[in-house]
Amino acid sequence: KQKFAEKAAALFQENRAMLKEHGDKIIDQVAIRQLYGGMRGMKSMIWETSELDAYEGIRFRGYSIRELRKLLPKAPNCKEPLPEGLFWLMLVGEIPSQEEVNWLTEEWKKRGELPARTTAMLDAMPADTHPMTQLSMGILSLQNDSVFAKRYEEGMPKNEYWDAYYEDSMNLIAKLPRLAAYIYRRTFHNNEHIAADPSLDWGANFAHMLGISEHADFKSLMRLYLTIHADHEGGNASAHSTHLVGSTLSDPYYSLSGGMNALAGPLHGLANQEVIKWILEMVEELGTDTPTNEQITEYINQTLEAGKVIPGYGHAVLRQPDPRYIAQRHFAEEYIKDDAIVSIVWKLFTIVPPILQDLGKVKNPWPNVDAHSGALLMHYGLKEFSFYTVLFGVSRAMGVLAAGVWSRALGMPLERPKSMTSKAIKEFLKKS
Ligand code: NMX
Ligand code: MLT
């Protein structure tokens, strides 16, 4: 917190001076196409924690996923990074030492308990409530304890906003694995819960509380999974929603719940459940888990002819295979031998792109992060795919909340862009 405070105070001053000198410089222009086209590519916000390159993929504070798998501190006997280290990097801007990461692990353990009202609320929900609905509501049920909301009501001055936002963010991230594991166990395992293991780090403890496999490789997978899904610059729908809600000075609980509602859409995070559902339906329809290339091609064409998208393929910004997909593939190559669903995922990599390319309209025919994740989870026994987006959400919380602390520290104002009617566009065209 101290390290963050020093960095944030310095950047706040730098930004002030920069804006005074350069505030009127034009950095982008807006085409009418972008107003109708989901604001693709429009430079429109500040996001310190990560930045995306269309061809190289995401970089967290300048580091690629490949570099981070090497550089971030690790748990004993594990090759994958501790997600705690990525949170530190996003917040502080420096690769943490092992000692610093251990401190964060311990800090999240201290803050991890769920209040009884949260579990009581979840228990009152029908068991078939989608896990993402339960996640969003579970997050909101924690809002009673918001430090930010309480201190705001007491008259907190602006220069303390980040401090309260940091405390809430730390509390919320600490609790998310328990909340998510509670949702999983109540929905799919008879409400039989598994206590947290105080000896484990954040990601491994989550794997333990899910209770589907005590295999050390599954703990490694969770650490990798929670690291690579954390942030994808500011414009993606879950990050942008969290940012927008936070800009009203709603606290982190309201903001993250809003972000999770965006993540729950099939064009965004829900695509990870859609991918595996689509593959399993193919296997069932064909009656084999070793389909030929011809059979897969026909199934893809059927999907497209039915007017549906191929889940896990395409991206609003990326124009190459997603490095998060590649990282998961490398994990599978190292840890998983002969898994039928993983093999189908790899076959799709060669079959889907040329078909999408031939449609002539898809800007990126390559797989995104969601094309691979479900096959890895299935392999270790986490087969209930309606839960998959919750895992994405637990990870995404780290990026969007770290970015939220930065937004409060940099004094980011209420977000309020300009909208136009189609009539106004026509009038503009007449005049131009
Ligand atoms: N399958 C079929 N058609 C596609 C696909 C796909 N995978 N991707 C894009 N298209 C279509 C798209 O629907 C649009 O068609 P139309 O003009 O008829 O409306 C056309 O190609 C142009 O779209 P793009 O400009 O290439 O993509 P856009 O930026 O609009 O959308 C996605 C990006 C990610 C929403 C889109 O690629 C998609 O629907 N993919 C499948 C869902 C998915 O995997 N989402 C997960 C994204 C990652 N995440 O975790 O959030
Ligand atoms: C993400 O991780 O948020 C997705 O890849 C979507 C995006 O970046 O737009």
Here the ipTM equals 0.99
Sign of the Cα torsion 175, 178, 181, 183 reads negative
Model pLDDT for residues 388-404, shown as the tens digit of each residue: 999 999 999 999 999 99
Q: Which among 112, 62, 14, 93 is positioned nearest to 406, based on CA atoms?
A: 93
Helical H segments across 211-270, by residue range: 216-228, 237-247, 252-263
- Name the 3-class secondary structure at 310: coil
pLDDT for residue 245: 98
pLDDT for residue 214: 82
Nearest CA to ligand 1 atom 38: 314
Work out which ligand 2 atom sits closest to the CA atom of 239. 3
Compute, in angstroms, the gap from residue 308 CA to the centroid of ligand 2.
Answer: 20
Residues β-bridged to residue 50: 60
Nearest CA to ligand 2 atom 3: 236
Work out which ligand 2 atom sits closest to the CA atom of 231. 2
Q: Is the CB of 58 under 6 A from ligand 2?
A: no
pLDDT for residue 62: 98
Specify the pTM.
0.98
Domain ranges of the chain: 88-268+385-409, 271-379
pLDDT for residue 19: 98
- Name the 3-class secondary structure at 224: helix
Residues 6 or more apart in contact with residue 367 via CB below 8 angstroms: 312, 313, 321, 322, 325, 348, 349, 352
Structure tokens at 270: 């829900």
Q: Residues with Cβ within 6 A of ligand 1?
A: 267-269, 271, 309-316, 356, 361-364, 368-370
pLDDT for residue 164: 98
pLDDT for residue 213: 81
Say whether 271-379 and 88-268+385-409 share the same fold. Answer: no
| Alpha-carbon separation of residue 157 from 6, 151, 162 (angstroms) | 18, 9, 10
Burial of 110 (0-12, 13-18, 19+ CB in 10 A): exposed
As annotated, the active-site residues are 268, 315, 370
Residues of the chain with pLDDT under 70: none
Nearest CA to ligand 1 atom 3: 309
Which residue carries 């392999």 as its tokens? Answer: 379
Nearest CA to ligand 2 atom 2: 232
Q: Which among 163, 168, 162 is positioned nearest to 111, based on CA atoms?
A: 168
* Fold of the domain built from segment(s) 88-268+385-409: Citrate Synthase; domain 1 (1.10.580)
pLDDT for residue 103: 98
Contact 57, 232 (CB under 8 A): no
Which superfamily does 271-379 belong to?
A: Cytochrome P450-Terp, domain 2 (1.10.230.10)
